[in-house]
Amino acid sequence: MAITGIQAASEALKSYFLPSLRYQLNEQASPTLTQFERDSQSVVGKDIVMALRYGRSGGVGMRLDTGDLPEANSRKTRQAKWETKNVFARIMLSDKVIRASRSNVGAFANLLEQELEDAQNDAKDMLSRQLFGDGSGLLATVQAVDATNKKITVDNVDYFAEGQFIDIYNGDALVLQKAEILGVDPEARVLTLSDVTGVLANHSVYMYGNKGLELTGFKAVFQAPVLYGIDRAQNPWLKARRINVNGEISEVVIQQAIDLANKDAGSNTNLLVCSFGVRRAYQYLLSAQKRQVNTLELRGGWKALEYNGIGLVPEKYCPAGTMFCLDSNDWKMYEMADWDWLDEGGGILHPVSGKAAFEAVLVKYCDLGCQKPRGQVELYGITEH
């Protein structure tokens, strides 16, 4: 029986493209995320259940020959439980492209390659950005509005590109939904939008539909007052260290952070994550000392500078002047399952209402978790080069 266009398309998406998409999104989205283990065993239903252990055993001590033995008292355990986040990547294919694949799967694969590559790159970029967020999805704050020319000035344009859709809020009140970005002026920090109706200074900018739904990234782990549903004011053992360098990076400063992580929580720092400007500052430090810049290869084939046997990697969306000193063994990407196509009703491709087109949705239910925030250190206020 001849294979139909829809059958060929579905087969190409599942057999040709899904393994590659999984590899790219799991291993090539971010050098940092690639170093974290993936865990599906700790996801129960739609919730992540993570055991947080802290303190020390009370059953160790010195006694007289005939004295009472130390009293056993296990380390404390607090269960963190929170819901997985929903990550979707949606593509749309015209009926014309589908019909062109009627003869064989390979023909469809060639037509679809660029569409999937674009979706893949955008998904990788979103994951690498959310790694440094707090889960709120806040991207920028409006500083000024030019209603005549439909332009807004924001405090940060690093997260924006032409063609993106954004929402603008006043607190929790939605002011403008799904405005398209038509132009980005990075030097002036100005966005040209399809609409600016109702937008005022001090309003907040989010990716369309993302408000409050993004991954629990580094900003949450290092700064949020409530983490994984636990109030850190009442549980200081859950607080991560933050140190204001207020100047140039040095090996002494990095070593101090590593030593504190070990002293506070017994963590062994094995990954340094920084902004591009901080990496240049570290390279400048080595060149000023006339020392060779050595490199390491990390999991996933990522290249890193070396500090005392530890990999130092830059990230596009790492905050300026910042370095995170991490024990990657304390971090996991908790997931219900690997990336897969939404396959409701037995088919990957679904007709789009009112259009001569079909759509497919790639999905993953997951979130990032840190079992020992106290063993991580953030250095900020570093002079960039």
Neighbours of 162 (CB within 10 A): 11
Q: Within the chain, which residue ranges are assigned CATH 3.30.2320.10?
A: 234-333+371-382
Query: Contact 372/323 with Cβ under 8 angstroms?
Result: no
Q: Whats the size of the chain, residue-wise?
A: 385
3-class DSSP state of 145: strand
pLDDT at 16: 82
Q: What is the pLDDT along the chain (385 residues), one digit of tens a residue?
A: 334 567 777 777 888 889 999 999 999 999 999 999 999 999 999 999 998 877 666 667 777 878 887 776 666 778 999 999 999 998 887 887 767 656 555 655 666 777 788 889 999 999 999 999 999 999 999 999 999 999 999 999 999 999 999 999 999 999 999 999 999 999 999 999 999 999 999 999 999 999 999 999 999 999 999 999 999 999 999 999 999 999 999 999 999 999 999 999 989 999 999 999 999 999 999 998 888 888 999 999 999 999 999 999 999 999 999 999 999 999 999 999 999 998 866 678 888 889 888 888 999 999 999 999 999 999 999 999 9
Helix (H) or strand (E) holding 18: helix 18-27
DSSP assignment of 264-319:
HH-----EEEE-HHHHHHHHHHHHHTT----EEE-GGG-EEEEETTEEEEE-TTSP
Q: Report the distance separating Cα 54 and Cα 79, nearest Å.
A: 11
Q: Which amino acid is at 299?
A: R
Angle, CA 8 vertex, CA 7 and CA 11 arms, to 5°: 85
| Distant-in-sequence, close-in-space partners of 18: CB < 8 Å, separation ≥ 6 | 339, 340, 341
3-class DSSP state of 90: strand
Residue 258, both tokens: 């590593």
3-class DSSP state of 370: strand
CA nearest 277: which of 381, 382, 384, 156? 384
Neighbours of 238 (CB within 10 A): 22
Helix (H) or strand (E) holding 253: helix 251-265
Domain 234-333+371-382 fold: hypothetical protein PF0899 fold (3.30.2320)
Query: Contact 321/381 with Cβ under 8 angstroms?
Result: yes
138-207 — its CATH code? 2.40.30.10
Q: Within the chain, which residue ranges are assigned CATH 2.40.30.10?
A: 138-207
Residue 172, both tokens: 């929790």
3-class DSSP state of 17: helix
